[in-house]
């Protein structure tokens, strides 16, 4: 775990500035672990929490914008390590929206009868793309992974989904294919670089405006499709990108803080894994009850965005895992 004080040794910033501008206090940064290793740990945890055996899994999807290899897919590596055989395996990149996009893809395959059980993993090692001399980006992100096992259900589950993209903003948030090791891996101070394209770059104000606008659109559309109202929602689970964005959207819909899940203070922005990590934390904290309606919201580079309305229910045997 890396707290804000670590960044004061690398650049002109402070704990107070980072907290006031982002809501972030700490984040996890991988120290030598690869993205697939982070994903494998989350996948093993998800499989242990289900009653599904590896040989029953017919699909493995890995949402990642920070893979270790062009090929093979991160999903194939994780499947191989888990002992999953004869399964459809592929990676999905929708940036920070990828976790929700992956959930939708998995549900469509299960709904069509192509597979019975699907494992979705979101594994992100964003730290390798960050310029640790640029406080406008490097303080925002953390590494992390989440996973979930999907199966058929007679009730509950996904009620409605709305996915979209504003592709005119593809250049607002860009990360390179390769970047040098982070100072947390080398144990050396960050060095100034001449090539500004070597690390993640973001038009912060533009992304903020997009997230607030697109977030409202996605919420309105997903509720409309389901014939539900905001008052029906027990938990608003937004992508953990910036506390100001979360607060702005929550206030717009009159959502009290006890209905809004926030973990950005401890985890920072873990890209596509943030939604799955959030659901896992809600579950492990005992905050989810059978029949709770969850409204999940995502937005990310591309620009991608979307929302999902989901009815939580307790699992019994193998009738539904999520």
Neighbouring C-alpha atoms within 13 Å toward the C-beta of 42: 32
Closest by alpha carbon to 167, among 205, 214, 237, 125? Answer: 214
Return d(Cα 143, Cα 156) in angstroms, integer. 31
89: annotated active-site residue: no
Return d(Cα 102, Cα 125) in angstroms, integer. 18
Return d(Cα 301, Cα 290) in angstroms, integer. 34
Return d(Cα 177, Cα 5) in angstroms, integer. 29
5: annotated active-site residue: no
Q: Which residues contact 295 (CB under 8 A, 6 or more apart)?
A: 219, 222, 223, 230, 233, 235, 236, 237, 307, 308, 309, 310
Which residue in the list 62, 89, 138, 239 is annotated as catalytic? 239
User: Collapsing DSSP states into helix, strand and coil, what is residue 219?
Assistant: helix
Return d(Cα 122, Cα 43) in angstroms, integer. 9
269: annotated active-site residue: yes
Neighbouring C-alpha atoms within 13 Å toward the C-beta of 257: 4
Which residue in the list 93, 242, 267, 269 is annotated as catalytic? 269
From first CA to last CA, the distance across the chain in angstroms is: 29
Which residue in the list 62, 89, 96, 138 is annotated as catalytic? 96
Tell me the backbone φ, ψ of residue 117, rounded to 5 degrees.
Answer: -125, 140
Return d(Cα 51, Cα 255) in angstroms, integer. 35
Active site residues: 96, 239, 269
């Amino acid at each position: 775990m890396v707290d804000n004080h670590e960044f004061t040794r690398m650049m002109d910033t402070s704990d107070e500035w980072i907290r006031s501008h982002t809501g972030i206090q700490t984040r996890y940064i991988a120290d030598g672990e690869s993205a697939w290793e982070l994903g494998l740990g989350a996948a093993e945890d998800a499989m242990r929490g289900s009653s599904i055996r590896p040989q029953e899994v017919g699909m493995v999807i890995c949402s990642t914008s920070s893979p270790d290899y062009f090929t093979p897919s991160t999903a194939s590596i994780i499947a191989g390590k888990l002992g999953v055989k004869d399964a459809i395996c592929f990676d999905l990149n929708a940036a920070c929206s990828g976790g929700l996009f992956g959930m939708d893809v998995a549900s469509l395959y299960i709904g069509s009868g192509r597979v019975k059980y699907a494992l979705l993993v979101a594994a992100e090692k964003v730290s390798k793309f960050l310029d640790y001399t640029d406080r406008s980006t490097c303080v925002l992100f953390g590494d992390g992974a989440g996973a979930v096992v999907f199966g058929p259900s007679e009730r509950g589950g996904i009620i409605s989904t709305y996915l979209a993209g504003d592709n005119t903003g593809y250049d607002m948030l860009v990360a390179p294919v390769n970047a040098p090791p982070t100072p947390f891996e080398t144990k050396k101070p960050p060095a100034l670089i001449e090539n500004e394209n070597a690390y993640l770059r973001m038009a912060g104000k533009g992304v903020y405006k997009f997230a607030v606008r697109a977030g409202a659109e996605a919420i309105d559309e997903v509720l409309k499709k389901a014939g539900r109202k905001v008052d029906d929602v027990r938990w608003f689970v937004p992508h953990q990108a910036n506390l100001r964005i979360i607060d702005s959207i929550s206030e717009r819909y009159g959502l009290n803080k006890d209905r809004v899940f926030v973990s950005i203070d401890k985890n920072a922005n873990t890209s596509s894994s943030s939604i799955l990590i959030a659901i896992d934390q809600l579950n492990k904290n005992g905050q989810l009850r059978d029949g709770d309606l969850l409204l999940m919201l995502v937005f990310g580079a591309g620009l991608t965005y979307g929302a999902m309305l989901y009815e939580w229910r307790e699992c019994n045997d193998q009738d539904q895992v999520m």
